[in-house]
Amino acid sequence: MKAFDSTQLYFNRAADQIDLTESMRCLLLVPKREVQVQVAIERDDGEVATYIGYRVQHDDARGPMKGGLRFHPDVDMDEIRSLAALMTWKTAVVDLPYGGAKGGMAIDPKQFSRRELELLTRRFVDGIHDLVGPDVDIPAPDMGTNADVMAWFMNQYAKYHGFSPACVTGKPVELFGLPGREEATGRGVGILTYKLLGRIGRKPGDTRVAIQGFGNVGSHTAKFLGEAGYRLVAVSDASGGFYRADGLNVPALLRYALDHNGSLTGFAEADAISNAELLALDVDVLIPAALGGVITAQNAKAVRAGIIVEAANAPIYPDADDVLQERGAIILPDILANAGGVTASYFEWVQNRQHYRWDLNRVRQELDRVLTNSFESVWELAATRNISLRAAAYVLGIGRVRRATELAGVC
């Protein structure tokens, strides 16, 4: 199943719940604008190489469109379209004054030098600068991009439009960025996992957790849950998985990744397992925090965790979701579970617009408040309607976008 089809399926299931008309479904699903631009650079060996940059602006009924820029070989228009729609529902679920967007390029950033990445970013901005901006569409980091990319983005945008740090979020803290933005997605996953487990009466000490992915999101989730006393028994990254039944030493893992350019390859204080084995482990909580589409109809039956927290965007296909729901698994959906990132992006945007600096304590406190309120709303709605947390999150998000659309008027 293609990425957008799967997002559309989740959308339609929730739309059935609230009797959304066909015309409103169409209005809310079809992206407002999709662009594809040429990004040509001279590589370090002197060759000119040409790439495609994508940006999909899905919906702006609730405010300027917001969403990351992804540098990953799997990027294509369909995936970006799907991720842009997820951003619309995500910003609505956590009630930020934003719509949804997403962009990216089909490249493996590891194959490019720093100079080349800077050029790619600047040429991409050249192609889209007049379609984005602080009141229109605000990019941010996503898979394969980071604060450096956002700094280049801001600098290139300024060449056309003058000083406007709010044109992009996830910037370096020293360059108009927000303390706590980098940790926010993983920290948010941790906060929400903690809330969910508390709701169903699970104690940290006897809760075994496995996290797939040890990038920005996975590592910060591990840090938060480790500090909260949960037993992290397995993690993995692109090089494979690491398992320890009595619990991994989280500070040692974090230190190892820091010393090895983000990679866990060679970490010796654990047994080696494959990524597929990690998904099938007998754990209480499974947190896919890497790529989309990792739990499919083929491997869903092997997944044994009772609770799955979607730290990644779209890690579970709808047919796999059916299998998991049928056996009673509780799934915290991506549009809530990983919303901490865009929530902190919102704080950064507010900070930039007010030229007033936030400190880390304030960021953490407000992040906790926004995510806790959103969790409670979704939980209540799921209980009242007797639907899954995913359906409830969609119902809440779609309902808010529909309301804004109707109030603004469509004629």
Of 24-32, 66-74, 284-292, 323-331, which part binds ligand GLU (CB under 6 A)?
Answer: 66-74
DSSP labels for 48-76?
A: EEEEEEEEEEEE-TTSSEE--EEE-TT--
Q: Which two tokens stand for residue 229?
A: 């006393």
**Of 119, 120, 132, the residue nearest 70 (C-alpha):** 120
Residue among 96 and 253 whose Cβ is closer to ligand GLU:
96
- Per the CB < 8 A criterion, the answer to whether 275 and 298 are in contact is no
Q: Is 67 in the site for ligand GLU (CB under 6 A)?
A: yes
> Partners of 16 in the beta sheet?
none
With CB under 6 A as the rule, give the number of residues binding ligand GLU. 11
Q: For residue 351, what are the contacts with CB-CB under 8 A and spacing of at least 6?
A: 176, 178, 357, 358
**What is the C-alpha separation between 172 and 185, in angstroms, rounded?**
16
| Burial of 328 (C-beta count, 10 Å sphere; 0-12/13-18/19+) | exposed
Of the candidate residues 345, 351, 352, 388, the single one contacting ligand GLU (CB under 6 A): 345
**What is the C-alpha separation between 115 and 331, in angstroms, rounded?**
41
Least CB distance to ligand GLU at residue 214 (A): 17
Residue among 207 and 313 whose Cβ is closer to ligand GLU:
313
Query: What is the pairing mode between strands 48-59 and 285-288?
Result: unpaired
Query: 3-state DSSP: the chain helix, strand, coil percent, rounded to 5?
Result: 50, 15, 35
Query: What is the pairing mode between strands 240-243 and 231-237?
Result: antiparallel
Residue 53's CB is within 10 A of a number of other CB atoms, namely 25
Residue among 24 and 332 whose Cβ is closer to ligand GLU:
332
Residue among 68 and 190 whose Cβ is closer to ligand GLU:
68
Of the candidate residues 59, 79, 142, 237, the single one contacting ligand GLU (CB under 6 A): 142
Write down the catalytic residue from 66, 102, 171, 223: 102
Residue among 67 and 215 whose Cβ is closer to ligand GLU:
67
Q: Is 342 in the site for ligand GLU (CB under 6 A)?
A: yes
Least CB distance to ligand GLU at residue 407 (A): 24
Instruction: Name the strand (E) or helix (H) holding 10.
Output: helix 3-17
Residue among 156 and 345 whose Cβ is closer to ligand GLU:
345
Q: Which two tokens stand for residue 361?
A: 């304590």
Burial 245-282 (b: 16+ CB within 10 A, else e): eeebebeebbebbeeeeeebeebeebeebebebbbbbe
Of 30-38, 195-203, 341-349, 389-397, which part binds ligand GLU (CB under 6 A)?
Answer: 341-349
Of the candidate residues 53, 64, 68, 144, the single one contacting ligand GLU (CB under 6 A): 68
DSSP labels for 248-292?
A: --HHHHHHHHHHTTT--TT--SSEEE-HHHHHT---SEEEE-S-S
Is residue 195 among the annotated active site residues? no
Least CB distance to ligand GLU at residue 235 (A): 21
3-class DSSP assignment, residue 316: strand
- Per the CB < 8 A criterion, the answer to whether 396 and 378 are in contact is yes
Residue among 219 and 313 whose Cβ is closer to ligand GLU:
313
| Closest residue by beta carbon to ligand GLU | 68
Of 65-73, 190-198, 299-307, 376-384, which part binds ligand GLU (CB under 6 A)?
Answer: 65-73
Site for ligand GLU in 287-326 (CB under 6 A): 313
Least CB distance to ligand GLU at residue 205 (A): 31
Pattern of binders to ligand GLU over 166-205, x per CB under 6 A?
A: ---x------------------------------------
Q: Which two tokens stand for residue 115?
A: 């100079």
Of 63-71, 237-245, 298-306, 375-383, which part binds ligand GLU (CB under 6 A)?
Answer: 63-71
Of 2-10, 122-130, 320-328, 337-345, which part binds ligand GLU (CB under 6 A)?
Answer: 337-345
Q: Is 140 in the site for ligand GLU (CB under 6 A)?
A: yes
The catalytic residues are 102
Q: Which residues of this chain interact with ligand GLU, rule CB under 6 A?
A: 66-68, 140, 142, 169, 313, 338, 341-342, 345
